[in-house]
Amino acid sequence: MRWVIVGAGAVGGVVGGRLAAAGQDVVLVARGAHLDAIRSDGLALHSPEGRRTLRLPAVGAVTEHEWRPGDVAVLAVKGMDTPDVLRPLAAVAPPETPVLCLQNGVANERAALRVFPNVYGVWVILPATHLAPGVVVAHSSPTPGGLDLGRVPGGVDDTALALSSGLRAVGFASEPRADIMRWKYVKLLMNLGNAIQALCGPDAEGIDELDALLRAEATEVLRVAGIDVATPEEDAARRKGLLTIQPVEGTPRGGGSSWQSLARGTGTVEADYLNGEIVLLGRLHGVATPANELARQLVNRAAREGTRPGALTPSQFLKLLP
Protein backbone atom coordinates (compact mmCIF):
# COMPACT_ATOMS: atom_id res chain seq x y z
CA MET A 1 0.00 0.00 0.00
CA ARG A 2 1.26 3.47 -0.90
CA TRP A 3 -0.35 6.47 0.79
CA VAL A 4 -0.69 9.49 -1.51
CA ILE A 5 -1.49 12.44 0.77
CA VAL A 6 -3.30 15.03 -1.34
CA GLY A 7 -2.94 18.16 0.75
CA ALA A 8 0.03 17.92 3.12
CA GLY A 9 -1.10 20.70 5.46
CA ALA A 10 -1.79 20.33 9.18
CA VAL A 11 -3.77 17.08 9.23
CA GLY A 12 -2.44 15.61 5.98
CA GLY A 13 1.13 16.49 6.88
CA VAL A 14 0.94 14.96 10.35
CA VAL A 15 -0.67 11.76 9.05
CA GLY A 16 1.75 11.49 6.14
CA GLY A 17 4.70 12.31 8.34
CA ARG A 18 3.89 9.66 10.94
CA LEU A 19 3.29 7.05 8.25
CA ALA A 20 6.61 7.87 6.59
CA ALA A 21 8.46 7.92 9.93
CA ALA A 22 7.23 4.37 10.55
CA GLY A 23 8.60 3.21 7.21
CA GLN A 24 5.39 3.18 5.20
CA ASP A 25 5.41 4.26 1.55
CA VAL A 26 4.18 7.87 1.33
CA VAL A 27 3.98 10.53 -1.38
CA LEU A 28 2.93 14.08 -0.54
CA VAL A 29 0.98 16.41 -2.81
CA ALA A 30 1.50 20.03 -1.79
CA ARG A 31 1.80 23.43 -3.42
CA GLY A 32 3.52 26.79 -3.27
CA ALA A 33 6.09 27.61 -0.64
CA HIS A 34 5.13 24.52 1.37
CA LEU A 35 6.01 22.25 -1.54
CA ASP A 36 9.27 24.13 -2.13
CA ALA A 37 10.26 23.74 1.51
CA ILE A 38 9.45 20.01 1.59
CA ARG A 39 11.47 19.43 -1.57
CA SER A 40 14.47 21.42 -0.41
CA ASP A 41 14.57 20.72 3.34
CA GLY A 42 12.15 17.83 3.98
CA LEU A 43 8.93 17.79 5.97
CA ALA A 44 9.52 18.98 9.54
CA LEU A 45 7.21 17.12 11.93
CA HIS A 46 7.04 18.68 15.39
CA SER A 47 5.26 17.09 18.34
CA PRO A 48 5.48 16.87 22.14
CA GLU A 49 7.87 13.97 21.55
CA GLY A 50 10.35 16.18 19.69
CA ARG A 51 11.22 17.18 16.14
CA ARG A 52 12.20 15.16 13.13
CA THR A 53 12.75 15.93 9.47
CA LEU A 54 11.45 13.48 6.90
CA ARG A 55 12.77 13.27 3.38
CA LEU A 56 10.01 11.91 1.21
CA PRO A 57 8.75 12.41 -2.33
CA ALA A 58 6.52 15.41 -2.97
CA VAL A 59 4.72 16.58 -6.11
CA GLY A 60 2.75 19.69 -6.97
CA ALA A 61 -0.38 18.04 -8.37
CA VAL A 62 -2.07 14.64 -8.57
CA THR A 63 -1.23 14.57 -12.28
CA GLU A 64 2.50 14.63 -11.47
CA HIS A 65 2.30 11.37 -9.54
CA GLU A 66 2.59 8.03 -11.34
CA TRP A 67 -0.48 6.22 -10.03
CA ARG A 68 -0.50 2.45 -9.79
CA PRO A 69 -2.66 -0.31 -8.28
CA GLY A 70 -2.20 -0.32 -4.51
CA ASP A 71 -2.13 3.46 -4.17
CA VAL A 72 -4.57 5.09 -1.76
CA ALA A 73 -5.66 8.66 -2.48
CA VAL A 74 -5.90 10.41 0.89
CA LEU A 75 -7.81 13.66 0.36
CA ALA A 76 -6.70 16.16 3.01
CA VAL A 77 -7.59 19.39 1.24
CA LYS A 78 -10.30 21.82 2.36
CA GLY A 79 -13.81 21.07 1.13
CA MET A 80 -13.87 23.91 -1.39
CA ASP A 81 -10.79 22.43 -3.09
CA THR A 82 -12.15 18.89 -3.40
CA PRO A 83 -13.74 19.27 -6.87
CA ASP A 84 -10.52 20.71 -8.28
CA VAL A 85 -8.64 17.66 -7.00
CA LEU A 86 -11.15 15.01 -8.05
CA ARG A 87 -11.37 16.06 -11.71
CA PRO A 88 -7.67 15.54 -12.53
CA LEU A 89 -7.44 12.59 -10.11
CA ALA A 90 -10.13 10.73 -12.03
CA ALA A 91 -8.14 11.24 -15.22
CA VAL A 92 -4.91 9.67 -13.93
CA ALA A 93 -5.68 7.25 -11.08
CA PRO A 94 -6.99 3.70 -11.67
CA PRO A 95 -10.78 3.67 -11.26
CA GLU A 96 -10.57 1.20 -8.37
CA THR A 97 -8.26 3.49 -6.34
CA PRO A 98 -9.52 3.83 -2.76
CA VAL A 99 -10.28 7.45 -1.89
CA LEU A 100 -9.95 8.25 1.81
CA CYS A 101 -11.61 11.56 2.78
CA LEU A 102 -9.46 12.83 5.64
CA GLN A 103 -11.53 16.00 5.74
CA ASN A 104 -14.04 18.03 7.68
CA GLY A 105 -17.60 18.36 6.44
CA VAL A 106 -19.89 15.80 4.82
CA ALA A 107 -19.88 16.82 1.14
CA ASN A 108 -16.48 15.42 0.12
CA GLU A 109 -17.52 11.77 0.17
CA ARG A 110 -20.54 12.41 -2.06
CA ALA A 111 -18.37 14.33 -4.52
CA ALA A 112 -15.80 11.51 -4.59
CA LEU A 113 -18.50 8.89 -5.18
CA ARG A 114 -19.41 10.61 -8.43
CA VAL A 115 -16.08 9.55 -9.94
CA PHE A 116 -14.71 6.73 -7.75
CA PRO A 117 -16.59 3.66 -6.46
CA ASN A 118 -14.38 2.99 -3.43
CA VAL A 119 -14.75 5.93 -1.06
CA TYR A 120 -14.06 5.99 2.68
CA GLY A 121 -14.97 8.67 5.20
CA VAL A 122 -12.88 9.55 8.23
CA TRP A 123 -13.94 10.98 11.59
CA VAL A 124 -10.98 13.30 12.14
CA ILE A 125 -10.03 14.29 15.69
CA LEU A 126 -6.47 15.49 15.25
CA PRO A 127 -5.21 18.73 16.82
CA ALA A 128 -2.57 19.90 14.37
CA THR A 129 -1.10 23.16 13.12
CA HIS A 130 0.44 24.29 9.85
CA LEU A 131 1.56 27.93 9.82
CA ALA A 132 5.06 27.84 8.30
CA PRO A 133 6.14 26.30 4.97
CA GLY A 134 7.56 22.82 5.41
CA VAL A 135 6.44 22.49 9.04
CA VAL A 136 3.50 20.61 10.57
CA VAL A 137 2.80 20.22 14.27
CA ALA A 138 0.91 17.53 16.20
CA HIS A 139 -0.23 18.67 19.65
CA SER A 140 -1.38 15.44 21.32
CA SER A 141 0.80 12.63 22.65
CA PRO A 142 1.16 9.69 22.95
CA THR A 143 -1.90 9.34 20.71
CA PRO A 144 -1.79 12.12 18.09
CA GLY A 145 -5.46 11.75 17.15
CA GLY A 146 -8.47 9.65 16.32
CA LEU A 147 -9.15 8.57 12.73
CA ASP A 148 -12.12 6.19 12.70
CA LEU A 149 -13.15 5.29 9.16
CA GLY A 150 -15.61 3.34 7.08
CA ARG A 151 -16.88 2.75 3.59
CA VAL A 152 -19.35 5.26 2.15
CA PRO A 153 -22.33 5.13 2.14
CA GLY A 154 -21.91 2.38 4.72
CA GLY A 155 -20.12 -0.78 5.67
CA VAL A 156 -16.65 -2.08 6.43
CA ASP A 157 -14.66 -4.04 3.84
CA ASP A 158 -11.14 -5.42 3.62
CA THR A 159 -9.79 -2.07 2.44
CA ALA A 160 -11.31 -0.25 5.40
CA LEU A 161 -9.79 -2.81 7.74
CA ALA A 162 -6.37 -2.43 6.11
CA LEU A 163 -6.48 1.37 6.21
CA SER A 164 -7.54 1.41 9.85
CA SER A 165 -4.84 -1.11 10.74
CA GLY A 166 -2.20 0.96 8.96
CA LEU A 167 -3.16 4.07 10.91
CA ARG A 168 -3.18 2.24 14.23
CA ALA A 169 0.27 0.86 13.46
CA VAL A 170 1.71 4.40 13.49
CA GLY A 171 0.01 5.50 16.69
CA PHE A 172 -3.41 6.81 15.72
CA ALA A 173 -6.59 5.58 17.34
CA SER A 174 -8.65 4.17 14.47
CA GLU A 175 -11.74 1.98 14.53
CA PRO A 176 -13.51 0.65 11.43
CA ARG A 177 -17.10 1.92 11.45
CA ALA A 178 -19.95 0.72 9.25
CA ASP A 179 -21.88 3.92 10.07
CA ILE A 180 -19.08 6.42 9.51
CA MET A 181 -21.33 9.20 8.18
CA ARG A 182 -23.20 9.36 11.51
CA TRP A 183 -19.84 10.23 13.03
CA LYS A 184 -18.97 12.68 10.28
CA TYR A 185 -22.17 14.58 11.05
CA VAL A 186 -21.44 14.80 14.76
CA LYS A 187 -17.97 16.12 13.88
CA LEU A 188 -19.67 18.67 11.61
CA LEU A 189 -21.51 20.01 14.66
CA MET A 190 -18.16 20.54 16.36
CA ASN A 191 -16.64 22.23 13.30
CA LEU A 192 -19.38 24.85 13.09
CA GLY A 193 -17.44 26.78 15.71
CA ASN A 194 -14.38 27.03 13.45
CA ALA A 195 -15.72 30.21 11.88
CA ILE A 196 -16.40 31.87 15.23
CA GLN A 197 -13.01 30.81 16.54
CA ALA A 198 -11.36 32.42 13.53
CA LEU A 199 -13.42 35.60 13.76
CA CYS A 200 -13.21 36.10 17.52
CA GLY A 201 -10.19 34.09 18.63
CA PRO A 202 -10.26 30.73 20.41
CA ASP A 203 -10.27 32.22 23.92
CA ALA A 204 -12.67 35.14 23.45
CA GLU A 205 -15.14 35.71 26.27
CA GLY A 206 -18.60 34.64 25.15
CA ILE A 207 -17.44 32.32 22.36
CA ASP A 208 -19.09 29.29 23.98
CA GLU A 209 -22.48 31.02 23.76
CA LEU A 210 -22.02 31.53 20.02
CA ASP A 211 -20.90 27.94 19.54
CA ALA A 212 -24.01 26.69 21.35
CA LEU A 213 -26.19 28.89 19.14
CA LEU A 214 -24.65 27.47 15.96
CA ARG A 215 -25.03 23.90 17.20
CA ALA A 216 -28.64 24.42 18.28
CA GLU A 217 -29.57 25.63 14.80
CA ALA A 218 -27.75 22.72 13.21
CA THR A 219 -29.22 20.11 15.52
CA GLU A 220 -32.73 21.23 14.60
CA VAL A 221 -31.91 21.23 10.89
CA LEU A 222 -30.49 17.72 11.02
CA ARG A 223 -33.54 16.54 12.97
CA VAL A 224 -35.96 17.98 10.44
CA ALA A 225 -33.89 16.61 7.55
CA GLY A 226 -34.04 13.13 9.09
CA ILE A 227 -30.27 12.74 9.13
CA ASP A 228 -28.88 10.16 11.54
CA VAL A 229 -26.19 11.63 13.79
CA ALA A 230 -24.08 9.96 16.45
CA THR A 231 -25.45 10.97 19.84
CA PRO A 232 -23.61 13.31 22.20
CA GLU A 233 -23.20 10.35 24.57
CA GLU A 234 -21.60 8.23 21.84
CA ASP A 235 -19.31 11.08 20.86
CA ALA A 236 -18.26 11.78 24.45
CA ALA A 237 -17.54 8.10 25.09
CA ARG A 238 -15.36 7.85 21.97
CA ARG A 239 -13.43 11.01 22.80
CA LYS A 240 -12.86 10.13 26.47
CA GLY A 241 -9.15 9.81 27.09
CA LEU A 242 -8.37 10.02 23.39
CA LEU A 243 -6.23 13.15 23.35
CA THR A 244 -3.58 14.52 25.68
CA ILE A 245 -2.65 18.01 24.55
CA GLN A 246 0.93 18.82 25.52
CA PRO A 247 3.30 21.72 24.84
CA VAL A 248 5.33 21.67 21.65
CA GLU A 249 8.53 23.65 21.78
CA GLY A 250 8.31 26.78 19.67
CA THR A 251 4.68 26.26 18.64
CA PRO A 252 1.95 27.45 21.01
CA ARG A 253 -1.44 25.89 20.32
CA GLY A 254 -3.52 28.39 18.36
CA GLY A 255 -6.86 27.74 16.73
CA GLY A 256 -8.38 25.27 14.34
CA SER A 257 -8.23 25.06 10.57
CA SER A 258 -10.16 28.27 9.79
CA TRP A 259 -8.17 30.23 12.36
CA GLN A 260 -4.99 28.95 10.72
CA SER A 261 -6.27 29.91 7.26
CA LEU A 262 -6.78 33.52 8.44
CA ALA A 263 -3.43 33.49 10.25
CA ARG A 264 -1.65 32.35 7.07
CA GLY A 265 -3.62 34.74 4.86
CA THR A 266 -4.69 32.03 2.43
CA GLY A 267 -7.65 34.07 1.17
CA THR A 268 -10.14 31.24 1.66
CA VAL A 269 -11.77 29.18 4.42
CA GLU A 270 -14.01 26.14 4.23
CA ALA A 271 -17.06 27.69 5.93
CA ASP A 272 -19.26 27.03 2.88
CA TYR A 273 -18.82 23.31 3.58
CA LEU A 274 -19.29 23.56 7.36
CA ASN A 275 -21.72 26.31 8.35
CA GLY A 276 -22.81 26.41 4.71
CA GLU A 277 -23.85 22.76 4.88
CA ILE A 278 -26.29 23.64 7.66
CA VAL A 279 -27.51 26.70 5.75
CA LEU A 280 -28.11 24.54 2.67
CA LEU A 281 -30.05 21.92 4.61
CA GLY A 282 -32.02 24.64 6.34
CA ARG A 283 -33.07 26.15 3.02
CA LEU A 284 -34.00 22.74 1.63
CA HIS A 285 -36.13 21.87 4.67
CA GLY A 286 -37.57 25.25 5.65
CA VAL A 287 -35.54 25.82 8.83
CA ALA A 288 -34.03 29.23 9.54
CA THR A 289 -30.27 29.25 10.24
CA PRO A 290 -29.38 32.95 10.71
CA ALA A 291 -26.38 32.39 13.01
CA ASN A 292 -24.70 29.89 10.70
CA GLU A 293 -25.36 32.09 7.69
CA LEU A 294 -23.88 35.11 9.42
CA ALA A 295 -20.83 33.13 10.51
CA ARG A 296 -20.38 31.84 6.95
CA GLN A 297 -20.61 35.33 5.45
CA LEU A 298 -18.35 37.03 7.97
CA VAL A 299 -15.53 34.51 7.94
CA ASN A 300 -15.52 34.34 4.13
CA ARG A 301 -15.27 38.13 4.04
CA ALA A 302 -12.47 38.09 6.61
CA ALA A 303 -10.55 35.59 4.47
CA ARG A 304 -11.04 37.64 1.29
CA GLU A 305 -9.99 40.87 2.95
CA GLY A 306 -6.99 39.42 4.77
CA THR A 307 -8.40 40.11 8.24
CA ARG A 308 -6.37 38.62 11.08
CA PRO A 309 -8.01 36.18 13.52
CA GLY A 310 -9.77 37.68 16.53
CA ALA A 311 -10.87 40.96 14.92
CA LEU A 312 -14.52 40.55 15.98
CA THR A 313 -15.94 40.14 19.49
CA PRO A 314 -18.74 37.70 20.31
CA SER A 315 -20.95 40.61 21.39
CA GLN A 316 -20.40 42.31 18.02
CA PHE A 317 -21.41 39.08 16.29
CA LEU A 318 -24.63 38.87 18.29
CA LYS A 319 -25.51 42.47 17.42
CA LEU A 320 -25.19 41.62 13.71
CA LEU A 321 -27.74 38.82 13.88
CA PRO A 322 -31.00 39.66 12.10
Asked whether residue 250 carries a pLDDT value surpassing 90, the answer given is no
Strand-pair partners of 148: 123
Q: What span, in angstroms and rounded, lies between the C-alpha atoms of 141 and 172? A: 10
Average pLDDT over residues 194-203: 96
Express as a percent the part of the chain with pLDDT over 70: 100
Asked whether residue 138 carries a pLDDT value surpassing 90, the answer given is yes
Residue 286 CA to its chain's centroid (Å): 29
Q: What is the pTM of this model?
A: 0.95
Cα-based distances in Å from 177 to 153, 160, 224, 270: 11, 9, 25, 25
Q: At 128, which amino acid appears?
A: A
User: For all residues of the chain together, what is the average pLDDT?
Assistant: 97
Cα-based distances in Å from 49 to 20, 175, 198, 229, 309: 16, 24, 28, 35, 28
DSSP labels for 162-219? HHHHHHHHTT-B--B-TTHHHHHHHHHHHHTHHHHHHHH-TT-TTHHHHHHHHHHHHH
pLDDT score recorded for residue 251? 85
DSSP, collapsed to helix, strand or coil, labels residue 68 as coil
From the CB of residue 273, how many other CB atoms can be counted at a distance below 10 Å?
23
Domains of the chain and any CATH numbers:
2-178 (3.40.50.720), 184-320 (1.10.1040.10)
Using pLDDT thresholds of 50, 70 and 90, give the confidence band for residue 102. Answer: very high
Asked whether residue 149 carries a pLDDT value surpassing 90, the answer given is yes
Closest CA to 169 of 147, 186, 189: 147
Average pLDDT over residues 95-99: 98
